[in-house]
Structure 1
């Protein structure tokens, strides 16, 4: 990366960080380019070299996070995860997924919250649902039924995302990444045990 590219990258990150901060403080509607430039410690001309408006910043931030998240979610293999769990160990690919979310916690918290974007929430659900569902349909024939598949994908994605949102809303200080991963599998095991007793 050249010096110029590095400066461009750092400026864009400063704008995105300012955007997250401003949305959390005043709400998306009241975010202005003037305040973004002020918080990012740049002038408005520099802002316009990188983005056309606050909607452009929002779009870039979403794309960056979705790309990053998918990079880790695509390595999650449900069968391997359950085998690892049975051995009493934590599943490393899922640890990487949760670590990614923790590293970008302010951005995920903002985008998944009331001030965020419903389309972002849907795209995150799609990433979790489609990647995990693809692997499940190879393991269980039932998961190949198209109608069942549609609802199973919604169920898986909403369950994972619901737990993550709860963690983000609590400030994620109360649980480490490893504890968060363990909690996901505790919930799955609990549901499996409950179903087994019916």
Structure 2
């Protein structure tokens, strides 16, 4: 019985994730609603809410977002700043941009300027703010928590903005180049000179 339940859960989640990808590809993020998703997936709203809190929770749980997060892990600022290749991109950042480039139709839809504010906030946390939370831990014993919070907000917003602009310009710059640019911006960020 447990195996059949597991199979049903996997099937339902697969249907919903496939419907999500289909809507984003064909209709864009503006048409992404629970109602529309349930219609495309052929499920009822009760089934959706059995698995996810809301549409944003579904997005965060997709294999594509989880794959990006496994590459885009919190940055060790000291390691990045001390990375010996001062002309190249920091490898985790390069991998993340290559990953987004590979799955561009999905990420372009999510980073669209007309995406709902809540989605932007969650994405900003996932690909921006979250990446610099090591700064908070690194500075915990230095009584600079307020400064650190502003530095994290600055870096997170800047990174999110760069990713969004990259998709807005239809990835005119190759992933390696945008990764190299972001690496240089982080390495020389004035807000880090105060503490690193």
Same-fold status (TM-score > 0.5): yes
Aligned to 1:183, the other structure's residue is in SS state helix
Tell me how far 1:77 sits from its aligned partner: 2.0
Q: Paired residue for 1:40?
A: none
Is 1:14–2:18 an aligned residue pair?
yes
Q: Paired residue for 1:171?
A: 170
C-alpha RMSD of matched pairs (Å) = 4.1
Q: TM-score, normalised by structure 2?
A: 0.68
Tell me how far 1:90 sits from its aligned partner: 2.6
Give the structure with the higher percent helix: 1
User: 5 Å matches for 1:23-172?
Assistant: 23-24=27-28, 27-28=31-32, 32=36, 36=40, 44=42, 47-48=43-44, 51=48, 58-64=56-62, 66-74=65-73, 76-84=75-83, 86-127=85-126, 128-135=128-135, 138=138, 144-172=143-171
Tell me how far 1:73 sits from its aligned partner: 2.6
Aligned to 2:121, the other structure's residue is in SS state helix
- Note the residue ranges of structure 2 that are not aligned, 5 or more in a row: 1-6
Tell me how far 1:81 sits from its aligned partner: 1.6
Q: TM-score, normalised by structure 1?
A: 0.67
**Equivalent residues of 1:125, 1:157 under 8 A apart:** yes
Question: CA 1:56/1:79 → structure 2, altered by over 3 Å: closer, same or farther?
Answer: same
Distance (whole Å) between structure 2 residues aligned to residue 189 and residue 162 of structure 1: 17
- Note the residue ranges of structure 1 that are not aligned, 5 or more in a row: 38-43
**1:78-109: per-residue Cα shift (whole Å, max 9, x none)?**
22222225543332111222233223333333
**Equivalent residues of 1:129, 1:156 under 8 A apart:** yes
Distance (whole Å) between structure 2 residues aligned to residue 184 and residue 147 of structure 1: 24
* Range 152-161 or range 11-20, more displaced: 11-20
Distance (whole Å) between structure 2 residues aligned to residue 74 and residue 97 of structure 1: 9
Question: CA 1:33/1:133 → structure 2, altered by over 3 Å: closer, same or farther?
Answer: closer
**1:144-186: per-residue Cα shift (whole Å, max 9, x none)?**
52221221111010000111100011111x2222111112134
Q: Identify the structure with bigger relative contact order (alpha carbons < 8 Å, sequence gap 6+).
A: 2
Question: CA 1:103/1:86 → structure 2, altered by over 3 Å: closer, same or farther?
Answer: closer
Tell me how far 1:24 sits from its aligned partner: 1.8
* Range 10-19 or range 91-100, more displaced: 10-19
**1:109-145: per-residue Cα shift (whole Å, max 9, x none)?**
3233244232232233333324424247527977x52
